[in-house]
Amino acid sequence: MNKLMKVISLAATIVVAGMSFVGCSKGSESITFFNYGENIDRETLDQFEKEYGIKVKIGTFDDMDTMYLKMSDSSVKYDVILVSDALMPKMINEGLLQELNKSNIPNIAQMDEEYLNLEMDPENKYSVPYMFGTIGIIYDKNVVTEEVDSWDIMWNEKYKDKVFMFDTYRDTMGAALKKLGYSINSEDPKELEEAQKILIEQRKLVDPQYGVDNGTSMIATGETALNMIWSGEGLNLQDEHPNLVYTIPKEGVNFWMDSLCIPKNAKNVEGAEKFINFVSGKESALRIADEIGYTTPNKEARLEQPEHVRNNPNAYMPKEVMALSELYRPLSLDVKRMYDRLWTEVKVSH
């Protein structure tokens, strides 16, 4: 898995390249791809364009809520979009996505069955798995001497001022719920209050630092030693720094899946189908996984990965850990407000 800086520079290259296609003649065929940041590589785009003569115009978003708001505006048109598991049911129910003609996307057969027919889109009527990952723990083994196999370590006062947690109520409340043995999607007020209680205790024990993307640089420079982190960033950092290790807690984690979909108002459905099929094939999936650092649902591509990648239980979880891990389910507005209130009280408790 390649360096984070390479991925960042890749994102800039893709955005610039995508912008350059705007000047193409009106007669040339194109598709527009609305993607979460840099989650594709330039070579795959080049090969698709060469093979099909279809230019790929790239638009990017920084968070899924932004994507949802744009797609809710019928005047905004994209041909392919990246959709998270948490937003998938909502977008399906609101009629924002169209059913796929899977006879035009035969490479879906290369996907591991474990990542198909998930509760967010049974039968994959609207989506093709693109990449998946987890939210786990990365730690500095030169500082952390205990075995790191549980969320409990994030409450160990031995590491006061060295713990980093996401500043997002769903993720951090989710970690606390898992530590307590509850579902990451709990809507039970008592369970949520218990999760809040131990997060307030955590503030007293270790005074965690909160953030999201900044945690990547903080652990790399030694400012922290135990971080919540996205698996792609965690595995990339592990490749870069011999003292850093990414692991999945035994209680289970948030397992997430980003998928490719075609919006209801797509202009070039045929081109979108060709694109989804192309990036879902073994060669593309293998290259994208290597460049971006996240795990691929393509079983044939996984077989081609280096042994230390394809057999890494912190990348491709064993069944017993997978069984304890959960996709986020959409929350009702009332439950969201409850989460938000409890999390705000955690933040002001110190």
Enter the pTM of the model: 0.82
Domain boundaries, the chain: 4-132+257-310, 133-254+318-347
Write down the pLDDT at residue 178: 97
Question: Is the fold of 4-132+257-310 the same as that of 133-254+318-347?
Answer: yes
Which residue matches tokens 């099909």?
A: 52
Write down the pLDDT at residue 341: 96
* pLDDT > 90 fraction of the chain, expressed in percent and rounded: 76
Write down the pLDDT at residue 63: 84
Among the CATH numbers 3.40.718.10, 3.20.20.140, 3.40.190.10, 3.90.470.10, which is that of 133-254+318-347? 3.40.190.10
Asked if residue 8 has pLDDT above 80, the reply is no
Each residue's pLDDT tens digit, 311-344:
988 888 888 888 889 999 888 899 999 999 999 9
Each residue's pLDDT tens digit, 169-213:
999 999 999 999 999 999 999 999 999 999 999 999 999 999 988
CB 151 within 8 A of CB 293: no
Each residue's pLDDT tens digit, 234-265:
988 998 999 999 999 999 999 999 999 999 99
Write down the pLDDT at residue 105: 98
CATH class of 4-132+257-310: alpha beta
* pLDDT > 70 fraction of the chain, expressed in percent and rounded: 92
